[in-house]
Amino acid sequence: MKKIFMVSILILTAGLLFANGSNDASNAAPTVKADEPITLEYWMWDPNFAEQQQAMSDRYEAMHPNVTINLTALDPKSYWTKLAAMAATKQMPDVFNMHPNSVEDFVDQGALLDLTDMIKKDFNKEDYFWSVMDSSFGVKGRYYGVPFAWVGSVMYYNKDLFDKYGVEYPKAGWTWDDFLAKAKALTKDLDGDGKTDLWGYGVFSRYAVYDGWILQNDGDYLNREKLTFEPNNNAKEAIKFLYDLANTYKVSPHPKDYDLDKKKIKLIFQQEKAAMISEGSWNIKYMRQDMPADFDWDIAYFPRGPHWKADTMHAWADGISIPASSKHPEAAWDFIKFVLQRPADDYYPGKVPFYKKEALSDAWDDFKSKGVPPEHKTIILKYGENAKHFYTKYWKFWRGYASAEGSGLSEFIDASLNGEITLDEFYKNADREANKMLNKAYR
């Protein structure tokens, strides 16, 4: 019986392989002559960024007449599925965007080329934000991708509301106590009906909103050796502080009262229902262009908790990888190095070039060069020198992201912020569900 099933699967899989074009034979010949015509397939997940990338590819082609870059920009929702399907048939593009929340899954399957030797040979650590590289694409001491840009979580605040209620703006090195005092001063019942109309701060379970708090208290909710969910005392202190913001101090709304998700959290800030929110730095673009705020605003970093030791940014990179089955690894690597030199003004406003020369340029600091908010955008550069995140295999499931955004840890964080479960119940449930998935991932 077992044999019959296996044979049928192999036959069907072989059929699919042939249906997709059988050029596996050419995999055996990776060496490429300098003047040999080469076509590199490049896949990226951001169609909004395709124009800039195409211009970059055109420049590369002009410098390398024998190389043609075929750019495919896919919607993020379909990107990973299609990439996995291509990996299944060993037909992956020559160069493709990679994210730290998926890199381990792909490495585990042997789908990515180990770039460690090339990186060590061609990169000078001081020229790049190396902590982002280490945390995002380092797997067991080897590198499987190179960041081209990185992002991190920051605190957005409405300067007009701070001015209106006489609250001082956040300063570098501010603490949880400072934060709480400001949040309390900004929480208002504006129409006197006994209900809060303006909240000091908006928080819910999303990783980009929540996890920065843990790091600024020198906390960790992962046991990095055993790869289990095991919040240490500092992480528990941060989790309790956030719980209290919503349930004890009542300076944050219950997430369910506003259906908070990745869109609504920005909306309550835009609609001046929350004076502060935390979110990813890429939302600077949203605040400026997609739904421009008609008030003055700025960014700060998360305040320091009682057990803070060093400013640690919840940050991660968008990177590029080469498949293990690549026919043109040298050409692909050369193209990647070229892409990393992309000029700073090519990036979304909140994305930081991995290459420091561009990140530190006036073109990137557009408050200085163009006067557009946020005034303190460059704090991202400072904090990004020490980047950390919580991505592991199956992260989407145990943390709660994409199609599972309300599940995993997110489910219990929101339930606790909503006051539906106690913190003890939170730990019990989170331990059970998160570790179930992590055990599955690393068994």
Partner 1 sequence: MRYKWYLPYLFILLAMVGLFVFRLGPLFFAGGMSFTDWSMFGSPGWVGLENYIEFVKDPTFWKIVWHTISFSLIFVPIILFGSLILAVLLNQGIPGTTTFRAMYFAPVVTSTVAVGIVWRWIFGADVGMLNFLLRTLGIESPPSWLSDRQFSLVVVALVFAWKRLGYYMIIYLAGLQDIPRTMYEAARIDGAGALAIFRKITLPLITPTMFFVMIMALVDSFKNFDIVYTMTRGGPGTASTTLAYYIYQHAFELFQMGQAASLSMFLLVIVGGISVLNFVYKSRWVNTQG
Which residues of the chain form contacts with partner 1 (CB under 8 A)? 2, 5-6, 8-9, 12-13, 80-81, 84-85, 87-88, 105-106, 109-111, 255-260, 394, 396-397, 402-407, 411-412, 414-415, 433, 436
Look at the alpha carbons of 141, 352, 235, 412 in this order and tell me if their dihedral is positive or negative.
negative
| SS3 state of residue 422 | coil
Contacts of 53 (CB under 8 A, 6+ apart): 42, 44, 71, 73
Closest CB to partner 1 among residues 387, 415: 415
Closest CB to partner 1 among residues 155, 260: 260
- Shortest Cβ distance from residue 196 to partner 1 (Å)? 12
174/256 Cα distance (integer angstroms) = 29
- Shortest Cβ distance from residue 329 to partner 1 (Å)? 19
Between the alpha carbon of residue 180 and those of residues 25, 69, 85, 159, 391, the distances in Å are 64, 52, 48, 17, 29
Closest CB to partner 1 among residues 350, 400: 400
Residue type for position 191: D
Closest CB to partner 1 among residues 5, 166: 5
Q: Which of 51, 11, 6, 43 is nearest to 319 (CA)?
A: 43
- Shortest Cβ distance from residue 28 to partner 1 (Å)? 19
* Burial category of 223 from C-beta neighbours within 10 Å (exposed 0-12, middle 13-18, buried 19 and up): middle
Closest CB to partner 1 among residues 69, 430: 430
- Shortest Cβ distance from residue 273 to partner 1 (Å)? 8
- Shortest Cβ distance from residue 225 to partner 1 (Å)? 24
432/426 Cα distance (integer angstroms) = 10
- Shortest Cβ distance from residue 103 to partner 1 (Å)? 13
Contacts of 45 (CB under 8 A, 6+ apart): 73, 74, 75, 76, 79, 97
Q: Provide the Cα torsion 178, 181, 187, 190; round to 10°.
A: -120
Closest CB to partner 1 among residues 87, 242: 87
Closest CB to partner 1 among residues 365, 405: 405
Closest CB to partner 1 among residues 64, 436: 436
Closest CB to partner 1 among residues 310, 402: 402
Task: Tokens 């489910």: give the residue.
Answer: 411
- Shortest Cβ distance from residue 285 to partner 1 (Å)? 22
- Shortest Cβ distance from residue 163 to partner 1 (Å)? 26
- Shortest Cβ distance from residue 74 to partner 1 (Å)? 14
Q: What is the largest CA-CA distance in the chain?
A: 76
Closest CB to partner 1 among residues 84, 360: 84
- Shortest Cβ distance from residue 98 to partner 1 (Å)? 14
Look at the alpha carbons of 335, 338, 343, 344 in this order and tell me if their dihedral is positive or negative.
positive
ω before 47 within 30° of 0 (cis)?
no
Angle at 20 between CA 18 and CA 24, to 5 degrees: 65
Q: Residue 70, Cβ neighbours under 10 Å: how many?
A: 12
